[in-house]
């Protein structure tokens, strides 16, 4: 079984998408990125579209927090990750953060059009003021850029950095 990230839906030939599992939240993302491809994918009856139950989503959040990747994952990323974890399926994605979470748990990934992640990285929060570091908590703010927390010691912004 394979869970397909939006990159696979966008770039793979339709015959390779057969029997793939996708989150319903990917439909809006696909429509936004490529309306034409979205229409084509909608016409297929070989993809299994799934809702992500709250318990599965919590498992995905915990796994992403454990690797430190949570702050930089979107809601759709979390849905796809949660499906792959709950279904014990290979995750097909070019997203290095998603690959990092899966590989940190010794689970299978497959790339769509890249070489894929070569090794697992660990992430931490690092203060821009006092340079204090902490593990990435599960309740951290999520955003693609910028700070995600404030330092408990000095109050300065904390950024996601690769753990040394």
What are the tens digits of pLDDT across the range 25-80? 999 999 999 999 999 998 888 899 999 999 999 999 999 988 889 988 999 999 99
Q: How far is CA 113 from CA 61, 63, 78, 94, 154, in A?
A: 26, 25, 21, 7, 43
Domains identified in the chain and CATH numbers = 2-110 (3.40.50.1010), 123-162 (no CATH)
**Mean pLDDT rounded to a whole number for the chain:** 90
| Separation of alpha carbons 22 and 132, rounded Å | 39
Give yes or no for a contact between 26 and 80, defined as CB atoms under 8 angstroms apart. Answer: yes
Query: pLDDT category, 24, cuts 50, 70, 90?
Result: very high
Residue 116 confidence (pLDDT): 67
Phi, psi of 70 (to 5 degrees): -50, -45
Average pLDDT score over residue span 146-163: 88
Confirm whether pTM is higher than 0.85: no
Q: Coil, strand, or helix at residue 69?
A: coil
| Separation of alpha carbons 129 and 120, rounded Å | 27
Total residue count of the chain as it appears in this document: 164
Q: Within 13 Å, how many C-alpha atoms sit on residue 86's CB side? A: 22
């Amino acid at each position: 079984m394979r869970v397909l990230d939006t990159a696979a839906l966008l770039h793979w030939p339709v015959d390779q998408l057969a029997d793939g599992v996708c989150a319903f939240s990917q439909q809006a993302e696909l429509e936004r990125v490529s309306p034409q491809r979205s229409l084509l994918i909608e016409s297929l009856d070989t993809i299994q579209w799934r809702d992500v139950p709250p318990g599965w989503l919590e498992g995905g959040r915990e796994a992403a927090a454990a690797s430190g990747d949570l702050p930089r994952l979107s809601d759709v990323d979390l849905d796809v990750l949660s499906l792959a974890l709950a279904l014990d399926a290979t995750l097909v994605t070019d997203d290095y953060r998603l690959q990092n979470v899966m590989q940190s748990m010794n689970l299978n990934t497959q790339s769509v059009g890249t070489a894929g992640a070569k090794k697992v990285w660990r992430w931490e929060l690092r203060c821009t003021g006092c340079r204090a570091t902490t593990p990435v908590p599960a309740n951290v703010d999520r955003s693609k850029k910028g700070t995600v927390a404030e330092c408990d010691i000095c109050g300065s912004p904390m950024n996601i950095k690769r753990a040394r």
